[in-house]
Amino acid sequence: MENHLASLSDQLAASVERAAVGVVAVHARPYIGMSGIVWRENIVLTSSSGIRSEEHIKVILPDGRSVEGKLRGRDAGTDIALVDADTSGVAPVDVASDSSLKPGQFVLAVGRTANTGPIASLGIISGVAGEWKSWRGGRLNPFVRLDISAYPTSAGGAAVDASGGVIGFVSTGLSRSSVLAVTGSTIDNVAPTLLEKGYVSRGFLGVALQPVVVPDNLKEKFHLEQDSGIMLVGVDDKGPGAAGGLIIGDILLTGNGHALTGPETLADVLFRVSPGDVITFRLLRGGTMQEVAVRTGERSGKRR
């Protein structure tokens, strides 16, 4: 009788082997490496959250060659970064369609290290949904969550289906609790802009946020039905928020008429405007209700 478990094991190993021919090791921060995918000729696709240096990035190719890379562009909102490197001899990876991804399907995280070569871990797709906004202001569509062990060196490596097809790359920088796959549709939406401009333009305020409960006495005083808001716990004194009059301790309630109940709701408001547009905030300050109009700045994808 055929040993089905051994057959499955062999198939998964073959899938890793097929994917690994396009996976490289990337060293762009002290001590901890990560992985990347040869996405186009002489272009490596990897995780933005693992890049600390824009130049003198070391890329280890599948044949063991070490080449120097330079950051071409990055978008922290979707965790996508592109690195220029001489990848001659390595065929670019074809990223498969993400239209048929389903929860429960096997998925492999395939990375590479300078010392061990290919590395892999096995899990499943635990969730697939529509458009999802990251806390950094980017949008993934679709949202694909992985139930998988992702080592630090796996970040930026290939997310691979059971047949060995690459569906995107492994991201550990967009969620504090989940490993995500940034798939082909999102890559196709963002990467061409990075090639052209080096960043994706988004409005930003230069503030640090914390969700808070609106005190009952203020809800009663101002006839508020909103239970929560966003407190400013930090304001960059050179940022657009400070220039527009926002201060530490303000509790933002609405932005351009949209309720602000957490950082993700402010990210949604910022996504709706272009850099230079004005957002009118309704906020609580020192027990009073005020309106403050702030002209947004531009968040460049090259900013961490």
Give yes or no for residue 163 having a pLDDT over 90. no
pLDDT digits (tens, 9 = 90+) for 71-113: 999 999 899 999 999 999 999 999 999 999 999 999 999 999 9
pTM of full prediction above 0.95? no
Q: Does the domain at residues 4-197 carry the CATH identifier 2.40.10.120?
A: yes
Q: Read off the pLDDT of each residue in 62-66 and give the average, rounded to a whole number.
A: 96
Domain chopping of the chain, boundaries: 4-197, 202-299
Q: Read off the pLDDT of each residue in 28-51 and give the average, rounded to a whole number.
A: 95
Q: What is the pLDDT of residue 304?
A: 39
Q: Read off the pLDDT of each residue in 275-288 and give the average, rounded to a whole number.
A: 95
pLDDT digits (tens, 9 = 90+) for 210-221: 999 999 999 999
| SS3 per-residue string spanning the chain | CCCHHHHHHHHHHHHHHHHHCCEEEEECCCCCCEEEEEEECCEEEEEHHHCCCCCCEEEECCCCCEEEEEEEEEECCCCEEEEEECCCCCCCCCECCCCCCCCCCEEEEEEEECCCEEEEEEEEEEEEECCEECCCCCEECCEEEEECCCCHHHCCCEEEECCCCEEEEEECCCCCCCEEEEEHHHHHHHHHHHHHHCCCCEEECCEEEEEEECCHHHHHHCCCCCCEEEEEEEECCCCHHHHCCCCCCCEEEEECCEECCCHHHHHHHHHHCCCCCEEEEEEEECCEEEEEEEECEEECCCCC
CATH class of the structural domain 202-299: mainly beta
